[in-house]
Amino acid sequence: MKRVSILGATGSIGQNTIDLIRRDKSNFDVVALTGGCNVALLAKSAIELGANHAAIADDRLYNDLKDALSGSGIGVSAGRQAIAQAAAMPADWVMSSIVGAAGLEPGLIAMSNGADLALANKESMVAAGGLMKATAAENNVLILPTDSEHSAIFQALMGQSRSAVERVIITASGGPFKDWSNAELATVTPDQAMVHPNWSMGTRITIDSASMFNKGLEVIETKEFFEIEDSQIEVVIHPQSIIHALVGFHDGNLLAHVGPPDMRHAIGFALYYPDRKPLPLNRLELTKIGRLDFSEPDYNRFPALKLAYDVLELGGVAGAVYNAAKEVALDAFIARQIGFLDMAEAVDRTLHRLFAGACELNKDQNLDNILHADNMGRKIGREEIQALSA
Ligand code: NAD
Ligand code: MG
């Protein structure tokens, strides 16, 4: 029996993970499930999977969760500390699927307590890749990439020599505004940005996909996971989202990972790694797809992607600043305080203010420095948002 926990169990990745576990219940012992504020779904999932413990991040919801689970024998806790404690409960495998930088510390705690970490929470790798990898190495555990592109690269690299890699290409659908002009992009509303052409995901990552911040985060995530040069990472627009990533080798051969846009393929691969188990998911039918298209990304219309390459060059804690400023800019866009294009502008200005002159941020990736950089990214980001919305 594999002991598993899911951090962010009520979200899109969390529920997809639960869908796979429910089909194979006898092989899993579910230790802890955590959620942000959806008590009903957390309780339902905990009962269905027979979890030992359920923790909700919003401490005002303790009594609601307790009531929902009364008589079930499932342990209940609430608050930020409760999420950390749930992450620390002994497990073999933990899904890190909280959204945002809030997922960083629980993931570190899970690894420190001996669990392999399936990493959907890309923000951890962007903000703290060095610390994440050091923590995994110290505790002799794995970080299993569970973003579709990174699972794809990981799979294409299996059995290959890392030193033979020439380039890695990650694909992007281009989102709903792929062909929009700058003038049109300036008018995009949150409702328009919340619809993805191919993937069904949480609201925040869906908007990040539309702005290409998601691909920017993934470029940084690629560098952290696979430790290649900035110039070896390419992004290609591929509207069908069928090829998730390709790895090119020194001899010119390219290996592509191909599959339907369903996160359960990447989650299932991480769940059973290093085995491959039969998964009852839809199979790709190439003749129904018919054609695959590719084009270059436009850094002018989607500056969030260009900024990610600046972050790679800056290194150190720049990823933590990029992500934090993006998170507050996304909040401001959702609240209709700033426009769609202002998100990248706010992040650009924040990076500029913090890194253009003599940088006062300590570049060493320890948790204090990363949390400080995250705080500064939010603080300066909010100032720039204020200026843009004035
Ligand atoms: P989601 O918004 O659907 O779910 C997020 C989960 O985190 C929920 O359980 C929510 O309650 C919880 N949460 C939110 N804030 C929290 C906090 N402060 N403390 C504790 N819990 C909190 O998001 P999602 O789409 O499932 O994405 C989860 C992560 O996986 C993100 O990092 C995202 O970038 C990544 N990811 C998602 C997809 C996808 O298809 N959805 C694909 C690749 C990567
Ligand atoms: Mg992805």
For residues 362-369, give the mean pLDDT: 94
- Ligand at shortest distance from the CA of 263: 1
Q: Is 250 part of any domain?
A: yes
pLDDT of residue 65: 98
Among the candidates 115, 145, 175, a domain finishes at: 145
Q: Name residue, tokens 């790709």.
A: 284
Quick check: 359 pLDDT over 90?
no
Please work out whether the CB of residue 263 comes within 6 Å of at least one atom of ligand 1.
Answer: yes
Alpha carbon nearest to ligand 1 atom 10, residue: 36
Q: Are residues 127 and 206 in the same domain?
A: no
Quick check: 358 pLDDT over 90?
no
Beta-carbon contacts of 261 under 8 Å, excluding residues fewer than 6 positions away, are: 148, 198, 199, 241, 242
For residues 284-302, give the mean pLDDT: 96
Among the candidates 90, 113, 145, a domain finishes at: 145
For residues 17-25, give the mean pLDDT: 97
Q: Are residues 334 and 384 in the same domain?
A: yes
Please work out whether the CB of residue 129 comes within 6 Å of at least one atom of ligand 1.
Answer: no
pLDDT of residue 360: 85
Q: Are residues 40 and 57 in the same domain?
A: yes
- Ligand at shortest distance from the CA of 205: 1
pLDDT of residue 367: 97
Full domain range(s) for residue 101:
2-145
Q: What is the pLDDT of residues 111-137, one digit of tens each?
A: 999 999 999 999 999 999 999 999 999
Beta-carbon contacts of 179 under 8 Å, excluding residues fewer than 6 positions away, are: none
> Given the CA of residue 199, which atom of ligand 1 is nearest to it?
40
For residues 335-353, give the mean pLDDT: 98
> Given the CA of residue 121, which atom of ligand 1 is nearest to it?
32
**Averaged pLDDT of the chain:** 97
> Given the CA of residue 80, which atom of ligand 1 is nearest to it?
19
- Tell me the two tokens of residue 44: 């339902």
pLDDT of residue 64: 98
Alpha carbon nearest to ligand 1 atom 4, residue: 11
Q: What is the pLDDT of residues 246-292, one digit of tens each?
A: 999 999 999 999 999 999 999 999 999 999 999 999 999 999 999 99
Query: Ligand 1, from 5, 6, 7, 13: best to mutate by most atoms within 8 Å of Cβ?
Result: 13
Residue-wise DSSP of 214-225: HHHHHHHHHHHH
Torsion sign over Cα 185, 307, 362, 387: negative
Q: Are residues 132 and 177 in the same domain?
A: no
Q: Model confidence at 354, in pLDDT bands (50, 70, 90)?
A: very high
Q: Is 114 part of any domain?
A: yes
Alpha carbon nearest to ligand 1 atom 42, residue: 147
Number of domains in the chain: 3
Q: Are residues 253 and 175 in the same domain?
A: yes
pTM (2 d.p.): 0.98
Please work out whether the CB of residue 15 comes within 6 Å of at least one atom of ligand 1.
Answer: no
Q: Are residues 128 and 17 in the same domain?
A: yes
Q: Is 276 part of any domain?
A: no
CA–centroid distance, residue 123 to ligand 2 (Å): 12
Query: Ligand 1, from 10, 61, 65, 97: best to mutate by most atoms within 8 Å of Cβ?
Result: 97
Q: Model confidence at 210, in pLDDT bands (50, 70, 90)?
A: very high
Query: Ligand 1, from 10, 12, 144, 147: best to mutate by most atoms within 8 Å of Cβ?
Result: 12
Q: Is 275 part of any domain?
A: no
Q: Are residues 97 and 34 in the same domain?
A: yes
| DSSP 3-state of 357 | coil
Instruction: Give the chain's length.
Output: 390
Percentage of residues in the chain having pLDDT higher than 70: 100
For residues 45-71, give the mean pLDDT: 98
Q: Are residues 78 and 164 in the same domain?
A: no
Q: Are residues 32 and 141 in the same domain?
A: yes
CA–centroid distance, residue 154 to ligand 2 (Å): 13
Q: Is 283 part of any domain?
A: no
Among the candidates 244, 260, 276, a domain finishes at: 260
For residues 144-155, give the mean pLDDT: 98
Phi-psi region of 145 (alpha: psi -120 to 50; beta: other; left: phi over 0): beta
Using alpha carbons, select from 303, 372, 292 the residue that is nearest to residue 343. Answer: 303
> Given the CA of residue 147, which atom of ligand 1 is nearest to it?
43
Q: Is 297 part of any domain?
A: no
pLDDT of residue 390: 86
Q: Is 284 part of any domain?
A: no
